Amino acid sequence: MRATVLAALAIAAVVPLVTAGLGGGEFYLGFATRIVIFAIAATSLNLILGYGGLVSLGHAAFFGLAAYGVGILAAHGVDTAAIQWPVALAACAVFAAVTGLVVLRTSGIYFIMITLAFAQMLYFLFVSLRQYGGDDGLTIATRSRLGPIDLGEPVVLYYLSVLCLVGSLWFCHRLVASRFGMVIRGARTNTRRMAALGFPVFRYQLVAFVLAGVMCGVAGILQANLTQFVSPSYMAWARSGELIVMVVLGGMGTLFGPVLGAAALLILEEVLADWTVHWMLYLGPIIVLIVLFAKRGLIGLFDRRSPPPAGGHHG
Amino acid sequence: MLELLVSQALNGIQLGVLLFLMAAGLTLVLGIMNVVNLAHGSLYMVGAYLAAQMTAVTGSFLLALPMAVLATLVLGLVLEVATLRTLYQRDHLDQVLLTFGLILFFNEVVRVIWGPTALFVPVPEALDQELEFLDGEIIYPAYRLAIIAVGLAVAAFLFWLIARTRVGMLIRAGAANRDMVAALGVDIVRLNTLVFGLGAGLAGLAGVMAAPILAVESGMGDGILILTFVVIVIGGIGSIRGALVAAVLIGVVDTMGRSLLPMILRELVDRQLASAIGPAVASMLIYILMAVVLTLRPQGLFPARTG
Amino acid sequence: MKRILGLVAATAMAAFAVPAEAQQQLKVGFVATFSGPGGALGRDLYDGFMLGIEQSGGRLGGLTTEVIREDDQLRPDVGLQVTQKLLQRDRVDIITGVVFSNIMMAIYQPIIESQTFVISANAGPSEIAGARCSPFFFSTSWQNDQPHEAMGAHLQRRGVGAAYIMAPNYQAGRDALTGFKRQFKGRILDEVYTTVNQPDYSAELTALRAARPPATYVFYPGGMGVNFVRQYAQAGLTRRVPLYSAFTVDATTVDAQGEAALGTFGTAFWTYDLATGTNELFVRSFLQKHNRMPSTYAAQAYDSARLLHAALTVSNLGNKDALRDALRKADFPSVRGPFRFNNNHFPIQNFYLYETVRDAQGRFVQANRGVVLENHRDAYASQCAMRW
């Protein structure tokens, strides 16, 4: 474990050197930053989906909501991160808490469809907010001001994103190992048993849902600073679907799976789109094949000790 | 004002009926097979494309209708046997992913086959007219009335099928308690295939019926899929009755919200603000409705499951 | 670790080994929406642009021309990513294409900051025409409001007293109705904004009928237009209330609208039957090559290529100021007839009224019905500080 972590950190640390060597200017570094950002989002989804068994098809809502938090405050001249970021994350927490109160009362298929519907609701709300660009999106004139740290410097933004990813992974690792994490994981396979053991499962799940939403918000904040732009398409339902693909592709319920999955999916999309306009024609069946034949995800190729995912039944 | 309300109610019912065709099939698939099928919207889209293709070939929409529905049904069976069948024992996540992959595939494949621009399907000539009621106070397109008629006929057929036939009895039993039906020695695999085929055919029918009034284009199934989910969640999974009630409810609420809400808002707040928030609230209305229903009844209005 | 360092060293050496770029080559980055529902528009832009290159002898300004095509997927973040790839990895000299305004808004800043010329073949958001105009941006299409202003002016001139106006609830829709109202001074019976990509308009059409308007004006591009126009006709409204629109009935949608589009009117900067010599050649070659009628999108992108050809013939890529001066002269035969640039680098051009009719060969086409606005300038140019 320790060796893997060190190796991963080493790779992440030298990425700017490698990308500089590739000669594509900031493109490859920007692409790497995008991978890291989506890795954070996928990790946050993994918290509830991989460990908690809660299949949310609306997770991208938090991503977009936080990005809008940055964008809207910037549009009103508030560009200091000390205000922007807490407000954006608080918005995610509130949205997660309010929707969580409704969605967590349900399970299985209901849960999937309701998370989707709530995300759609938020999507339509931002599409019709004309003050903030509506469907056209909102250009963010200045990146968040973070003391002496200049986020306009691509290398800085990259390392900050990596730092956030490491923090998210560490948090996930500690959380899952804790008593709290045990209840969440236990509820995945048998909610009733956990309830019978005297755990307030609903409250635990709600907290996990909010934590995942806030963590996804961190990714949204970074994305807003990377692209200096935010639009409702950040929270379109297909984005939520892609997040799920990342988690499963990499290996759900494993710490590093979502990171691998995010990298693999984004690189695959990039390569396919470079090759053909009809890239979705190939991506679709690839996803189908992954589901059918590679249930343990990419992480299974690297780490033979990681346990096979439990065939939990949530009907 | 009354004429307006009647016309809008008809519009709402027509939308509801279309949603019912989608929801009826999907709610059975969910209820009996316990399978999340995101590709249901793709079947709707394929039905519309096939209707366009076959109308162009045969020159008759009425000939194309059964052909397209049948072809979509067959496609549904192929999908079930080739991919979904292996997933019944797996969890919902796999089903979501697999059918998400299918959506990407189908949205692109229709563009490869039929090109990137929308296709044209003519309204059948006999129905290409407006009907007038109440001395011309209410004018309504005949084809939209035909959609309502077809939808109600399908609803009647489904109620008969479920209530009066052996297959229907199994479907009902399956929706209430799947394991019990299997334990009783019923060939659950065949029942599943049958239900999935039926659902695919209904989605295809919805697509065919929608083709003459909507642009037949890639991605047309995505929006209606989400509305269908809302209908099913409100109606209760596995319940045809719930699907019908919720579909019409959603159709009417959405239509009335779109037409009346801006008018009401304009009375309450100033015009500028009303035109800004009216459409936003109208497009969120059905999701709010869903949240309210689920808060009061987490299993929907007509839960079918007992165990 | 050793292997990673080895990789770094190898790639670093590879980077140094790349020879200095040959000056005789022109690299054009073409960003547009090719996949998904907007894909038809990207295709038309691309086909028009490539035809323009072909008719410049395959070499814009005599330079070996390489076009690198990138799909923005109608996702601003993807648009930004492919643009950065074009700018930084492929080091393109020019960026062009761009169907949708939201993509343009997302990629505008990095392009301008890198001092690369961008020729918009379609998107013309008001911010770029006004306060955020740039010496590196040129448009061969129009500012988003202009065609709508033209229709407003037409109805005003016709003496239509009142109108019922509708658009999707997004920025382009709001801009459209704002532009219309800028020129139309009659009564607005109602101003309706519908959800983006809403497929069914029965509720709105019922309300429209109840208002008994003398004219309807709408902006529903793409698939929304197919739905709206067909449902308008099916409700029996086309005969009762004349339908006026912009970007709603055009060559990309009319085949799916069919007879429902007949007798509707629109405004545009170009129609296929404009009798300029260049246009006849363009329409003929496009039809021959692609076996379909060219759309306004194809015409705009064709002009992008022809503008570049003319400018590069008298200047060179090495001198950006000279290239800008050459572009500003716009010394090329546009398919639309008269064409010159305003101070904000948007065209000053005519807008025409067109009617959708069936031609002698049974095709649905947009027939020119005369000039509505002559040498029209957009409303935002005065907010642009650039003077030349």
In a domain, C376, yes or no: no
Chain center to CA of A183: 22
Same domain, C52 and C77: yes
The pLDDT of residue A299 is 80
Cβ–Cβ contact A178 with B under 8 A: no
Report d(CA A227, CA C81) in Å as an integer. 9
Using alpha carbons only, give the angle A106, B36, A64 rounded to the nearest 5 degrees. Answer: 70
Higher per-residue confidence, A276 vs C255: C255
In a domain, C228, yes or no: yes
Cβ–Cβ contact B110 with A under 8 A: no
Mean pLDDT of chain C: 89
- A105 contacts in B (CB within 8 Å)? 294-295, 298
The pLDDT of residue C239 is 87
- Say whether C354 sits in a helix, a strand or coil: strand
Same domain, C103 and C47: yes
Q: Which domain holds residue B117?
A: 2-218
Question: Does the structure show a pLDDT above 80 at C229?
Answer: yes
In a domain, C221, yes or no: yes
* Minimum Cα–Cα distance from A124: chain C residue: C195
Percent of chain C at pLDDT exceeding 90: 68
The pLDDT of residue A7 is 85
Phi-psi bin for C350: left (phi > 0), alpha (psi -120 to 50), beta? beta
Same domain, C119 and C161: no
Q: How many domains does chain B have?
A: 1
The pLDDT of residue C23 is 54
The pLDDT of residue A35 is 95
Report d(CA B203, CA A162) in Å as an integer. 46
In tens, the pLDDT along C84-95 reads: 889 988 899 999
Report d(CA C156, CA C134) in Å as an integer. 34
The alpha carbon of residue A23 is apart from the nearest alpha carbon of chain C, in Å, by: 5
Which letter does DSSP use for residue B29 in this model? I
The pLDDT of residue C19 is 42
Q: How many domains does chain C have?
A: 2
The pLDDT of residue A222 is 96
Q: What residue has token string 């990714």?
A: A219
Paired residues of C367 in beta bridges = C355
**Cα separation of the two ends of chain B:** 48
Percent of chain B at pLDDT exceeding 90: 40
In tens, the pLDDT along A65-95 reads: 999 999 999 999 999 999 999 999 999 999 9
* Minimum Cα–Cα distance from A132: chain C residue: C171
Contact B116 C193 (CB under 8 A): no
Touching partners of B (3+ C-beta pairs < 8 Å): A, C
The pLDDT of residue B127 is 87
Say which range, B140-144, B189-193, B246-250, C347-351, has the weakest mean pLDDT: B189-193
Q: Is the ipTM of this complex over 0.90?
A: no
Helices vs. strands in chain B: H and E counts, helices first: 11, 2
In tens, the pLDDT along B286-306 reads: 888 888 888 888 888 888 654
Contact C35 B280 (CB under 8 A): no
Element (H, E) at B89: none
Question: Does the structure show a pLDDT above 50 at B194?
Answer: yes
- Say whether A201 sits in a helix, a strand or coil: helix
Q: What residue has token string 């635990």?
A: A204
| Residues C252-273, mean pLDDT to the nearest whole number | 92
Provide CB contacts within 8 A for C272, sequence distance 6+: C251, C279, C283, C293, C294, C365, C366
In a domain, C264, yes or no: yes
CATH of the domain at C253: 3.40.50.2300
The dihedral of CA C240, C245, C251, C257: what is its sign?
A: negative
Q: Which two tokens stand for residue B84?
A: 């979904």
For C255, counting Cβ atoms within 10 Å of its Cβ (0-12 exposed, 13-18 middle, 19+ buried), the class is: middle
- C7 contacts in A (CB within 8 Å)? 18
Domain layout of chain A by residue ranges:
27-235
The alpha carbon of residue B120 is apart from the nearest alpha carbon of chain C, in Å, by: 4
* Minimum Cα–Cα distance from A55: chain B residue: B93
In tens, the pLDDT along C147-198 reads: 999 999 999 999 999 999 999 877 778 889 999 999 999 999 989 888 777 8
CB B119 within 8 A of CB B55: no
Longest dimension (CA), chain C: 80
Which letter does DSSP use for residue B85 in this model? G
B positions 126-165 inside 8 Å of A (CB): none
Contact C199 B223 (CB under 8 A): yes
Residue type, A239: R
| Residues C272-295, mean pLDDT to the nearest whole number | 94
The pLDDT of residue C358 is 94
φ, ψ at A277 (rounded to 5°): -65, -30
Single out the residue of B229, B23, B290 nearest to residue A105, CA to CA: B290
Distances (CA, A) of A43 to A87, A98, C120, C330: 22, 22, 39, 52
Which of C232, C250, C268 is the C-terminal boundary of a domain? C268
Report d(CA C289, CA C302) in Å as an integer. 14
Cβ–Cβ contact C197 with A under 8 A: no
Provide CB contacts within 8 A for B112, sequence distance 6+: A278, A281
Using CB atoms, which residue from C34, C106, C168 is nearest to A137?
C106
Same domain, C190 and C233: yes
In tens, the pLDDT along C286-323 reads: 999 999 999 999 999 999 999 999 999 999 888 999 99
Same domain, C319 and C301: yes
CB C273 within 8 A of CB C248: no
The pLDDT of residue C17 is 41
Using CB atoms, which residue from A30, A127, A277 is nearest to C84?
A30
Q: How many beta-carbon contacts under 8 Å exist across B and C?
A: 110
The alpha carbon of residue B48 is apart from the nearest alpha carbon of chain C, in Å, by: 13
Question: Does the structure show a pLDDT above 90 at C12?
Answer: no
Q: Which domain holds residue C189?
A: 146-268
Pairing label, strands C340-341, C347-358: antiparallel
The pLDDT of residue C377 is 95
In tens, the pLDDT along C325-378 reads: 999 999 999 999 999 999 999 999 999 999 999 999 989 999 999 999 999 999
In tens, the pLDDT along B212-222 reads: 988 898 888 98
In tens, the pLDDT along B47-80 reads: 999 999 999 999 899 999 999 999 999 999 999 9
Question: Does the structure show a pLDDT above 60 at C20?
Answer: no
The alpha carbon of residue B132 is apart from the nearest alpha carbon of chain A, in Å, by: 36
C-alpha dihedral, A202 to A208 to A212 to A215, nearest 10°: 140
Contact C88 A227 (CB under 8 A): no
In a domain, C48, yes or no: yes
Touching partners of A (3+ C-beta pairs < 8 Å): B, C
Contact B276 A130 (CB under 8 A): yes
Contact C236 B139 (CB under 8 A): yes
* Minimum Cα–Cα distance from A56: chain B residue: B93
Distances (CA, A) of B168 to B235, B303, C313: 19, 17, 76
Question: b/e string for C92-106 if b means 16 or more Cβ within 10 A?
Answer: bbbbbbbbbbbbbbb
- A135 contacts in C (CB within 8 Å)? 102, 168-172, 196
315 residues of chain A, pLDDT tens digit each:
678 888 888 888 888 888 777 776 678 888 899 999 999 999 999 999 988 889 999 999 999 999 999 999 999 999 999 999 999 999 999 999 999 998 898 888 888 888 988 998 899 888 877 778 777 788 888 899 988 888 888 899 999 999 999 999 999 999 999 988 888 888 887 777 777 877 888 899 999 999 999 999 999 999 999 988 898 989 988 899 999 999 988 988 889 999 999 999 999 988 888 788 788 889 899 888 888 887 777 887 766 554 544 444 433
- B114 contacts in C (CB within 8 Å)? none
| Residues B109-129, mean pLDDT to the nearest whole number | 86
Using CB atoms, which residue from B34, B36, B284 is nearest to A125?
B284
**Cα separation of the two ends of chain A:** 35
In a domain, C355, yes or no: no
Pairing label, strands C347-358, C364-376: antiparallel
Report d(CA B49, CA B55) in Å as an integer. 10
Which letter does DSSP use for residue A67 in this model? H
Cβ–Cβ contact B82 with A under 8 A: no
Radius of gyration of chain C from its Cα atoms, rounded to whole angstroms: 22
The alpha carbon of residue A167 is apart from the nearest alpha carbon of chain B, in Å, by: 27
Q: How many beta-carbon contacts under 8 Å exist across A and B?
A: 132
